[in-house]
């Protein structure tokens, strides 16, 4: 069974799944396009799902859509959140903006072969769930309302706060951007569950008109759609604190026990050695990758070349190399499909599946596949079956070229194999001679850092 690193436990733990498993993933804030760094987190969730489904576990996923309640910064004052600010900049209504970027996000995730969640609740459509949860926390003594209509979570009522990130209450200091502790709070680390506001993004509540804080959204939606206990919660490493700490405190306080069994986080993605940010001008969208003539699934493959817990420095060279590998594998799978069917290479498949189960060790899985690709003792039909089986987890659409790739002329396959062996032996004269022989048969061979390709 799948073993994965639990951030709260600080160790790799086995996922005890029966016939079904429930997983929550923090979804996008839909006020702008998701960049490839954002998308890496969702590939992590998709990998967990695919590995479990390969083991015949039914996975139920909830992934929220944040379209209200996300301030520019937790320490900022005022009632405007990112949705309102961006809507004004673009001259749209908030709801036009939200649906536009939500649709763009869905297209990007589809292009990366991410399986759609069973539940995608929008924050703006589940305000009643949040109000109900906040009222319950106040009744239990975990939250308090103040005269201006704000409601805060009383963090000192949750003694185990900090178990995910290590940020314990006795060591927490006020945010550096705040000159003085907010006098409305009982403790400087308390956070807003509800904020007073008027206008387009506001709702009536027992505490006055306003909108929800960011953290309460995920608690309300996960409890509603997955229940009071679920197995996995995923997100980017930057969400450990304060978002996931606050979410855990809210959810566990409301129900009286630990709600999430395993917290799983993906590491940051850099591009050309720098953090992706609009201010640095190095934000790369999936549409930018496509504009460069690369398959969007080259991004997925580039992610798979690194462990999800590794910081990944993506470059255009990395993406181009992934694109070449992707196209080569599709061509090989199409070529192998023309061969006599054979049982898939069981030993290789077992090793790949063991790598998947070992904390999603996708780099090892890909190395094993390359080894299988080069193994001349394995019949082409067996390679075909093995690659397609493993692609159920990789999600690279390796069968898309079947029926599209021209069939090699008689004898060309043997010449290509012989040339590959000559290149490995650095017998360049033999490789050149075999290239000429292939050209006479109408097969053009190109050499790439990933190996030879033909057309």
C-alpha 365/C-alpha 358 separation (Å) is: 10
pLDDT of residue 200: 82
Residue 62 is labelled as binding a ligand: no
Residue 289 CA neighbour count, 13 Å, CB half = 29
Q: What is the DSSP string of 105-121?
A: HHHHHHHTTPPPPSB--
What distance in Å separates the CA atoms of residue 217 and residue 435, rounded to the nearest whole number? 61
Residue ranges per structural domain of the chain = 3-266, 316-407
pLDDT of residue 450: 66
Q: Is residue 228 packed enough to be buried (19+ CB in 10 Å), middle (13-18) or exposed (0-12)?
A: middle
136 is in an annotated binding site: no
How far apart are the C-alpha atoms of 244 and 49, rounded to whole Å? 21
Tens place of pLDDT for every residue, the chain, 455 residues? 899 999 999 999 999 888 999 999 999 999 999 999 999 999 999 999 999 999 999 999 999 999 986 665 454 445 567 888 889 899 999 999 999 999 999 999 999 999 999 999 999 999 999 999 999 999 999 999 999 999 999 999 999 999 999 998 888 877 644 555 788 999 999 999 999 988 888 999 999 999 999 899 999 999 999 999 999 999 999 999 999 999 999 999 999 999 999 999 999 999 999 988 777 778 999 999 999 999 999 999 999 999 999 999 999 999 999 999 999 999 999 999 988 888 888 899 999 999 999 999 999 999 999 999 999 999 999 999 999 999 999 999 999 988 775 667 778 888 888 998 998 898 989 988 998 888 888 888 888 776 788 87
For residue 173, say whether it is annotated as part of any ligand binding site.
no
Q: What's residue 331's pLDDT?
A: 93
Q: Cα dihedral sign for 191, 195, 201, 206?
A: positive
- What is the reported pLDDT for 404? 72
pLDDT of residue 119: 98
278 is in an annotated binding site: yes
What topology does CATH give the domain 316-407? 1.20.120
Residue 215 annotated as lining a ligand binding site: no
What residue ranges in 284-378 does DSSP mark as E strands?
312-314
139 neighbors 324 (Cβ within 8 angstroms): no
Whole-angstrom distance, CA of residue 71 vs CA of residue 212: 10
Q: What is the pLDDT of residue 124?
A: 94
Structure tokens at 201: 């993004």
Which CATH fold topology does 3-266 show? Rossmann fold (3.40.50)
Confidence (pTM): 0.86
The pLDDT score that the predictor gives to residue 169 is 87
């Amino acid at each position: 069974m799948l073993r994965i690193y639990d951030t709260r436990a600080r160790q790799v733990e086995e996922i005890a799944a029966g016939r079904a498993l429930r997983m929550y993933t923090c979804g996008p804030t839909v006020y702008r396009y998701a960049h490839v760094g954002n998308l890496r987190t969702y590939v992590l969730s998709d990998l967990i799902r695919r590995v479990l489904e390969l083991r015949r576990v039914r996975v139920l996923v909830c992934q929220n859509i944040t379209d209200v309640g996300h301030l520019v910064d937790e320490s900022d004052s005022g009632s405007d959140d990112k949705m309102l600010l961006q809507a004004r900049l673009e001259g749209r209504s908030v709801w036009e903006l939200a649906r536009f970027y939500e649709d763009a996000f869905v297209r990007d995730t589809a292009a990366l072969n991410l399986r759609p969640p069973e539940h995608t609740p929008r924050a703006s459509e589940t305000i009643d769930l949040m109000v109900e949860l906040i009222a319950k926390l106040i009744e239990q003594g975990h939250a308090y309302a103040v005269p201006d209509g704000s409601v805060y979570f009383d963090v000192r009522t949750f003694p185990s706060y900090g178990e995910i990130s290590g940020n314990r209450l006795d060591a927490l200091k006020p945010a550096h951007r705040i000159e003085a502790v907010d006098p409305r709070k009982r403790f400087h680390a308390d956070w807003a569950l509800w904020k007073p506001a008027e206008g387009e993004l506001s709702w009536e509540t027992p505490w006055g008109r306003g909108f929800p804080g960011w953290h309460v959204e995920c608690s309300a939606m996960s409890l509603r759609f997955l229940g009071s206990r679920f197995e996995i919660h995923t997100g980017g490493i930057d969400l450990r604190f304060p978002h996931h700490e606050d979410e855990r405190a809210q959810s566990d306080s409301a129900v009286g026990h630990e709600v999430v069994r395993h917290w799983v986080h993906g590491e940051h993605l850099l591009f050309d050695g720098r953090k992706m940010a609009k201010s640095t001008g190095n934000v790369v969208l999936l549409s930018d990758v496509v504009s460069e003539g690369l398959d969007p699934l080259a991004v997925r493959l580039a992610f798979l070349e690194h462990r999800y817990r590794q910081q990944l420095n993506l470059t255009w060279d990395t993406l181009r190399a992934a694109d070449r590998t992707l196209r080569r594998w599709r061509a090989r799978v199409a070529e192998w499909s023309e061969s006599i069917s054979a049982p898939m290479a069981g030993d290789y498949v077992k090793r790949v599946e063991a790598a998947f189960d070992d904390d999603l060790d996708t780099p090892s899985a890909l190395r094993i596949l390359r080894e299988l690709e080069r193994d001349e003792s394995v019949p082409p039909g067996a390679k075909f079956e093995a690659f397609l089986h493993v692609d159920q987890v990789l999600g690279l659409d390796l069968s898309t070229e079947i029926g599209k790739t021209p069939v090699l002329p008689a004898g060309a396959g043997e010449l290509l194999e012989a040339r590959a062996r000559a290149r490995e032996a650095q017998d360049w004269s033999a490789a050149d001679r075999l290239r000429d022989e292939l050209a006479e048969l109408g097969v053009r061979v190109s050499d790439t850092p990933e190996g030879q390709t033909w057309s």
